[in-house]
Structure 1
């Protein structure tokens, strides 16, 4: 079921989490770790464990995610955080509807474990998901970064955001083209190491600003 899947892991200083994240990857999936300026040896750790390592010097989630997409060659591409907050084994569940032809874009709806999702980040996610439902017919509850779609179709979306708005822009453009968008439940665990975005109020505020900008641009 998982054959022909490239999994993109945007990565900034995730040396502690990467071994477990990569070890849990389902058989038939290839890891593409996009190093976005790590100083802790993340790239070397990923390479030793068999991942394809791509270097992206321009900082930003969207920059790293899109660099991975451009480097992918498999017909199906998935995205996942590299910090251990997701169980990589559950990527099989996210990819399955795309492989079966039942959905064009599948998002992992986070089911949070204790202490895994700060309240401010959860509120921000609910707010953005509610705004998103006003723009699309898809009944979405989460803008989580674990997701899967066909590579050529994603490239055809011509995504432009290179910051935190990248995941939202993907959903908005997919909805505009009437893609079948689905959600599946995935576990959400306390991340390993220090959070760069949702674990801090400042990071969450930056993500909200980026996504609000994308919503305004798409509304035009």
Structure 2
């Protein structure tokens, strides 16, 4: 047996590194991410921002609608040139006037015939009226009677006469006013006012508007004026504005 046969190879010492093998550096591991928790104020601000945007859009839409309505109304007025009716008190006459004394005080029983002339000056559309109520008052506020007529439609460029039979039954008067009313009736200088309350609207070919409240006021009228042939012109009140025809 030759020398060297049967010899055990040398063991590598601990920590030995083969220089022919390249060194591999370990890859850095990413740090674990922490869950981000947003504060409640973040969500409140986001909700407020959405509400603010919604309100702004609503305001813009309403503003545009308002502008559209104003422009449409202006074009309608320029094209059709709407006019209010012209109202005159045509005739007025008491057919009954009696003041009697009761346990509750002076009481008035009266009846009068009132004719009111209404002219529609519009050539493009008719006028619609709701129920029409006429109230007759003395200057001191005493009620001299009232009556209500049904609604009606007035044709284009038309003149119509409304006939009222105004009645007051057992209408109590203040004692200080009873003598003034009786003397004013006898002397025909009793100052009265007539207020006609109705609703007024426009009507064209295939279209019509809704009615709005309108009050016709004929104030400062005396029996002498009517009997002498005067036809006092009345005022029309719309939207708390007074138009004098």
Q: What TM-score results when the alignment is normalised by the length of structure 2?
A: 0.19
The structure with the larger Rg is: 2
TM-score by length of 1: 0.20
Greater fraction of residues in strand: 2
Give the number of the structure whose residues are more often helix, by fraction.
1
